[in-house]
Amino acid sequence: MIICIDIGNSNIKYAVFDGDEPRFTFRVATDLKKTSDEYGVQLITMLHINNVEKEAITGGIFSSVVPSLDYTIAHMLGMYFGITPKQIAPGLKTGLKMRADNAREVGADRIVNNVSALKKYGAERPIVIVDFGTATTFNVLKDGEFIGGVIAPGIKGSLDSLVSGTAKLPRVEIEAPRSVIATNTVTNMQAGIVFGFAGLVEFIIKKIGRELGEKPLTVATGGFSEVIAKETKSIDVIDKMLTLNGLKYLYDMNSEEGK
């Protein structure tokens, strides 16, 4: 079994693959203060709950946008599972063509999403990947090449900023109210966040389509993808496993190369 780990600014997502199929997935909050031992105990506990022996894990791969956790996670996998994980970093084979001023600036998660989308959806038409994470990112793929994108504020971070920057606004659940014309503070805030981000997605996708000269296939992933997708017709596909499936694909690609 292979373990795939996506280290994000807010959450760390795990998937254990048995062959090409995910046996189980889970996520935990990203915590810079946790040690390798703490992450190891956390992972072993989840394996036990899902009836997987730690000896069954024979390989691993991770992507990270939190450099200070790279050693922690790699050391944890070596110490508790006896494996040296592959990492999404320069030198790892991805097969992805990129049109970027500085390819090293492109986040590991964006690279994985691009590779995963091309493998699953093909290169016959342009693809836009919208990842609703700590930031809201738009990746644009055309003719099998990553040609650029957009980085906008994240949904949760925007809400946190709104709450922390005001004296009386409460923390609310991120869900759509019944009407955009809201009648109390909570639904006013929910309308602004959910419908506001739905509008942001629609506008950016339309502008991307105009620049491409054709309508792209829009694939949404990330924690709030379903909430926003319900409020706009700009999103064609929700793929919550895009990153983790991409990691497994890249693990296999680079394992075959080493044989």
Please compute the mean of the pLDDT values over residues 142-164 and round it to a whole number.
94
Q: Are 220 and 228 in contact (CB under 8 A)?
A: yes
Please compute the mean of the pLDDT values over residues 59-65 and round it to a whole number.
96
Place of tokens 């691009």: 114
Say whether both 206 and 127 belong to one domain.
Answer: yes
Say whether both 140 and 227 belong to one domain.
Answer: yes
What percent of the chain shows pLDDT beyond 70?
98
Say whether both 239 and 132 belong to one domain.
Answer: yes
Query: 42, 58, 87: which is the final residue of a domain?
Result: 87
Domains held by the chain: number:
2
Please compute the mean of the pLDDT values over residues 106-127 and round it to a whole number.
95
Range of the domain at 194: 97-245
The verdict on residue 210 lying in a domain is yes
Say whether both 132 and 102 belong to one domain.
Answer: yes
Say whether both 105 and 233 belong to one domain.
Answer: yes
Q: Are strands 127-132 and 135-142 parallel, antiparallel or unpaired?
A: antiparallel
Say whether both 113 and 42 belong to one domain.
Answer: no
| pLDDT category of residue 259 using cuts at 50, 70 and 90 | very low
Say whether both 126 and 192 belong to one domain.
Answer: yes
Convert 18-33 to b/e letters by CB count within 10 Å (16 or more is b). Answer: eeeebbebeeeebeee
Say whether both 36 and 162 belong to one domain.
Answer: no
CATH number of the domain within which 164 lies: 3.30.420.40
Contacts of 118 by beta carbon, 8 Å cutoff, 6+ apart: 96, 127, 141, 144
Q: Are 228 and 132 in contact (CB under 8 A)?
A: yes
Query: 67, 87, 107: which is the final residue of a domain?
Result: 87
Say whether both 80 and 113 belong to one domain.
Answer: no
- Catalytic residues, which ones? 109
The verdict on residue 158 lying in a domain is yes
C-alpha triplet 117, 256, 94: angle, nearest 5°: 35
Prediction pTM value: 0.92
The verdict on residue 188 lying in a domain is yes
Say whether both 109 and 206 belong to one domain.
Answer: yes
Q: Is the pLDDT of residue 252 over 90?
A: yes
| pLDDT category of residue 101 using cuts at 50, 70 and 90 | confident
The verdict on residue 259 lying in a domain is no
Give the C-alpha separation, 226 to 211, whole Å. Answer: 26
SS3 170: coil
Distance, C-alpha 77 to centroid of its chain: 21
Q: Which helix (H) or strand (E) holds 191?
A: helix 185-212
Say whether both 102 and 176 belong to one domain.
Answer: yes
Q: Rounded mean pLDDT of the chain?
A: 94
SS3 189: helix
Q: Which of 89-103, 114-128, 201-215 has the lowest mean pLDDT?
A: 89-103
Say whether both 106 and 186 belong to one domain.
Answer: yes
